[in-house]
Amino acid sequence: MKPAPRTFQVKSFGCQMNVYDGARMAELLEAEGMSAAGEGADADLVVLNTCHIREKAAEKVYSDIGRLAKRPGGAAPMIAVAGCVAQAEGAEIPRRAPAVDIVVGPQAYHNLPALVRQAAAGGRALDTGMPPLSKFGALPARRRQGPSAFLTVQEGCDKFCTYCVVPYTRGAEISRPFGAIVDEARALIDMGAREIVLLGQNVNAWRDDEERGLDDLIRALDALPGLARIRYTTSHPGDMTEGLIRAHAEVEKLMPYLHLPVQSGSDRVLKAMNRSHTAESYLRIIERVRAARPDIAVSGDFIVGFPGETDAEFEATLAIVAAVNYAQAFSFKYSPRPGTPAAEMDEQVPAEVMDERLQRLQASLGRQQLAFNQASVGLCTDLLLERPGRKPGQLIGKSPWLQSVHLETGAAIGDLVAVDLVSAGPNSLAGRAAPTWLPGEGRGPAARTERLDPGLRRGTARVAA
Ligand code: 5AD
Ligand code: SF4
C-alpha cells in the first residue's frame, strides 16, 4: 500500500488540451492540500497525462511507468494514468502495468482527489466515465498563470475522420457555456494572463443555444480590459465561418495566425479520410482568410502514408503545400489506431515508403518556414515576453505570427514590447528592443507592424542606434 501523497507531479503529453487539463489537475491537487514537487525532486504522486493519437505516443506511457516503478533509491510513487490512453485502454492498463494505481479519463479528472484517497486506502481506482461538461463545474478556481493562458472552450469531435481516435477518447462535441468561458477568461487576466488561447479539438465548431459562434466569443474577449492577444486552435476547414474570417479583419487582439489542418492534398485520400473538404475548397478558404488578413501565418497538419496513398496522391500533398505556402506545419506518418475505420483498410503503406514521403514533405515545409521567418526580418512589431532565454538578460517572446523571438531586454516576462526583427533561423528569430509605440500609432492590426526602410523611417534609426 502506498501512503497518501503530499507532493505531486503532472506530466502532460500530446496536444494543448492535455496541457490545459494538466494545469487543472495540478490546481485540483493543490486545493486538496498537496504541493507540486520541486524541480528534480521525487514526487509522491505522478500523474502521466497521456496521448493516444499515434502509436508511439501511446506506447510511451508504458516505458514511463516502468521507469517510475523502479525509481532508483526510493519507493515507487503512486502512479496515475490520465488522458486519452486512460480513456482508450481503461482497465487494460493496470493489467499490463500492475504498478499503476489510478486510471482516470479526460472527462473524469475532477474525481482525481477521490481516486487518490481510494488508492491510498489500498484499492485500485478507475474512472473513465464521460459525463459531458460536469468536470468544469467541479473544478476549483484558476490559480497561478503565465502570460499566455490556455482556455478550453469546446471538447470532443463529431467529425469521425477515419484515422482518428479523438471521437472515441474525447467523446462527442460539446461547447462550454459562453458565460463560464468569459468568467474563466476574466480570472486568467486577473492572474496576469496577457494572451488567451481558446482551445478545442474543433474549436471553430464552438456554438451555443443562442446561435453564437467562436467569432462572438472572440469579440467578447476582445472587450475584456487587460487582455492583449487572442488565439484559437485547432480548427476544422468545415467550420471556418464567414464571421470567424471577418473577425480576423476586424478584431485587433486576434493574432494573425491560423492553424488549419488539411491532412492531404489528394481528393481521393481526403474522401477516404472522411474529411468534408477537397483540396480546392481548402485553398478557397485560405484565399478568403488571406483577403481578410493579408499577413496571416497559416499552419497545418499532414498525414503521409494513409492506407492506399499512391505516389501521385502524395505528389498532390506536395502540390497543396506549394500552393498554400505555410508558415509552420506538423506532419506525421500514418499510425493505425485500434477501433478506427482506417486501421481496417487494405493496402497499408510500407514503413520505408512513409519514411521517404515524410522526409520529402518535411523538407518542403521546412523551406517554407525558414522563408516565412526570413521574410519577417526587417519588421518592427510587438512581442509578448514569455520565458527566460539561455543567455543572461535574454528573454524569449512570441511575435504576432507565433514565432519565437530572442531578445536582450530589461523588460519582464509578461511585458508586451516593441521589437525590431533582425535575423531569422528555421525555428526562431532574433530581435532588438525598439522604443514603445507612440500613442495614436497602431490603429488596426497591420498598423502595429511596419517594415523598416533603409531611408528616413524611424525604424531604421532605431536599428542603427
Ligand atoms: N496517424 C497519424 N497522424 C494522426 N493524426 C491524427 N490521427 C493520426 C493517426 N492515426 C494527426 C493529424 C491531426 C494531428 C493532431 O495528428 O494530422 O491533425
Ligand atoms: Fe492526443 Fe488527441 Fe488526446 Fe490530445 S485529444 S491528447 S491529441 S489523443
Please name which of 268, 279, 285, 373 lies closest in space to residue 326, comparing C-alpha atoms. Answer: 373
Residue nearest to ligand 1 atom 16, measured at CA: 53
Question: Is the Cβ–Cβ distance between 122 and 9 less than 8 Å?
Answer: no
CA-based torsion, 59, 83, 89, 273: positive or negative:
negative
Q: What pLDDT score was predicted for residue 450?
A: 56
Residue with cell 533509491: 73
CA distance to 10, 73, 100, 278, per residue, from 80 (Å): 9, 21, 6, 42
CA 355 – CA 359 distance, rounded (Å): 6
Residue 442 has pLDDT above 60, yes or no: no
Backbone angles phi, psi at 40, to 5 degrees: 80, -10
Ligand 2 center–CA 87 separation, angstroms: 11
CA 33 – CA 52 distance, rounded (Å): 31
465 CB neighbour count, 10 Å cutoff: 8
Residue 456 has pLDDT above 70, yes or no: no
Mean pLDDT of the chain: 91
129, three cell numbers = 466515465
Residue with cell 446561435: 211
Residue 446 has pLDDT above 60, yes or no: no
Question: Is the Cβ–Cβ distance between 25 and 12 less than 8 Å?
Answer: no
Amino acid at 415: D
Q: What pLDDT score was predicted for residue 3?
A: 87
Ligand 1 center–CA 303 separation, angstroms: 6
Ligand nearest to the CA of 340: 1
Q: What pLDDT score was predicted for residue 449?
A: 56
Q: Which residues contact 136 (CB under 8 A, 6 or more apart)?
A: 176, 180
H or E segment and range at residue 248:
helix 242-250
CA 116 – CA 213 distance, rounded (Å): 38
**pLDDT band for position 457 (cuts 50, 70, 90):** very low
What tens digit of pLDDT does each residue of 338-364 get? 999 999 998 999 999 999 999 999 999
What tens digit of pLDDT does each residue of 381-399 get? 999 999 999 999 999 999 9
H or E segment and range at residue 188:
helix 178-190
Q: Which residues contact 265 (CB under 8 A, 6 or more apart)?
A: 279, 316, 317, 318, 319, 320, 321
Residue nearest to ligand 1 atom 9, measured at CA: 335
Taking residues 285-310, what's their average pLDDT? 97
DSSP string across 287-352: HHHHHH-TTPEEEEEEEE--TT--HHHHHHHHHHHHHH--SEEEEEE----TTSGGGG-S-PPPHH
**pLDDT band for position 434 (cuts 50, 70, 90):** confident
CA 164 – CA 423 distance, rounded (Å): 39
Determine the atom of ligand 1 nearest the C-alpha atom of 15.
Answer: 15
What tens digit of pLDDT does each residue of 35-92 get? 999 888 899 999 999 999 999 988 999 999 999 999 877 789 999 999 999 999 999 9
**pLDDT band for position 458 (cuts 50, 70, 90):** very low
Residue 461 has pLDDT above 60, yes or no: no
Amino acid at 123: G
Residue 415 has pLDDT above 60, yes or no: yes
CA 399 – CA 418 distance, rounded (Å): 10
**pLDDT band for position 314 (cuts 50, 70, 90):** very high
Ligand 1 site, residue 303, Cβ cutoff 6 A:
yes
Determine the atom of ligand 2 nearest the C-alpha atom of 170.
Answer: 5
**pLDDT band for position 267 (cuts 50, 70, 90):** very high
Residue nearest to ligand 1 atom 14, measured at CA: 301
Ligand 1 site, residue 175, Cβ cutoff 6 A:
no
Backbone angles phi, psi at 319, to 5 degrees: -70, -40
Q: Which residues contact 111 (CB under 8 A, 6 or more apart)?
A: 104, 127
CA 399 – CA 432 distance, rounded (Å): 13
Taking residues 207-219, what's their average pLDDT? 97
DSSP string across 24-56: HHHHHHHHTT-EEPPTTPPPSEEEEEE--SSHH
Question: Is the Cβ–Cβ distance between 13 and 49 less than 8 Å?
Answer: yes
CA 444 – CA 448 distance, rounded (Å): 7
Q: How far is CA 130 from the centre of its chain?
A: 22
Ligand 2 site, residue 170, Cβ cutoff 6 A:
yes
- Whether the pTM exceeds 0.85: the reply is yes
Q: List, in sequence order, every residue forming a beta bridge with 424; answer none if it has no partner.
A: 429
What tens digit of pLDDT does each residue of 136-187 get? 888 998 887 789 999 999 999 999 999 999 999 999 999 999 999 999 999 9
Ligand 2 center–CA 450 separation, angstroms: 38
Residue nearest to ligand 1 atom 18, measured at CA: 301
Residue nearest to ligand 2 atom 6, measured at CA: 51
Determine the atom of ligand 2 nearest the C-alpha atom of 16.
Answer: 4
Length of the chain: 465
Ligand 1 center–CA 339 separation, angstroms: 15
Residue nearest to ligand 2 atom 4, measured at CA: 15
Pocket test for ligand 1, best of 301, 320, 348, 362 (most atoms within 8 A of CB): 301
